[in-house]
Amino acid sequence: MHPNFRLSARNLLHYLAQLTDRELPIILKIETRRGFDELPALLLSAMQAGSCGVMIARGDLAVECGFERLAEVQEEMLWLCEAAHVPIIWVTQVLKSLAHGGRPSRAEITDAAMGDRAECVMLNKGPRMGAAVRKLGDVMQRMQTHQHKKSAMLRHLHVSKRWTRVPRQE
C-alpha cells in the first residue's frame, strides 16, 4: 500500500479486490482518531466481506485521543462492535511486564480482565509467554462468571456470603 494512501470506508473493498480475486477476511486496526471517528462506516464496509474483525490498538489511540479519553473511546468501540456482531481483538501491552519480567502490574491484571469483553487478546512477546498465557487464562476464566461482553451476569458475589443471614434452627 502506498504510504500516502488514505483508507476510507468507500475504497476499502475496492482496494482489496485489486489485490486478489479471493475473498479476504478483514481486520480493521483502529489506531487513530480518524479511524475511531470513521469506525461505523468502516464496519459497514468491512461487514460486506465474508468475515471481519476489529483490532483496538490502544497505545497509538491513547496518544491521538488523549489518555484521559482512552477508556471512553474503548467503551464506544466495544459497544459498536458488539452491536454489529463483529469480533474484537484486544491489543497493546496486555500483561507485558509478566511476559518480559515475570511479574504483572496491578493495572495489567485489570487490563487483562477487561480483555474478557473481546473475542481475542493479543499478548506481547517475551521470554515468559507461558506464564502470561496461563495468567490471562486464569483471569479470563474468573471474569466470565461476571460478564459476557457488555452484559453483566449479576452472579452471586463471594462477599455476600459474609452478610447472608442463616435462619436459626429452633
Beta-carbon count within 10 A of 44 CB: 12
Bridge partners (DSSP) of residue 136 are none
Cell 462492535 belongs to 81
* pTM for this entry: 0.73
Q: Residue 165: inside a domain, yes or no?
A: no
Q: Are residues 81 and 14 in the same domain?
A: yes
Residue 48: pLDDT above 80?
yes
Which residues span the domain enclosing 108? 91-151
Give the side-chain half-sphere CA count within 13 A for 93. 11
Query: Each residue of 98-122: pLDDT tens digit?
Result: 777 877 778 787 777 888 888 888 8
Q: Are residues 65 and 40 in the same domain?
A: yes
Residue 80: pLDDT above 80?
yes
Share of the chain above pLDDT 70, in %: 78
Q: How many domains does the chain have?
A: 2
Q: Are residues 12 and 79 in the same domain?
A: yes
Cell 466481506 belongs to 49
136 versus 163: the higher-pLDDT residue is 136
State the Cα–Cα distance between residues 117 and 62, nearest whole angstrom: 19
Going by the DSSP 8-state scheme, the letter that residue 55 receives in this structure is E
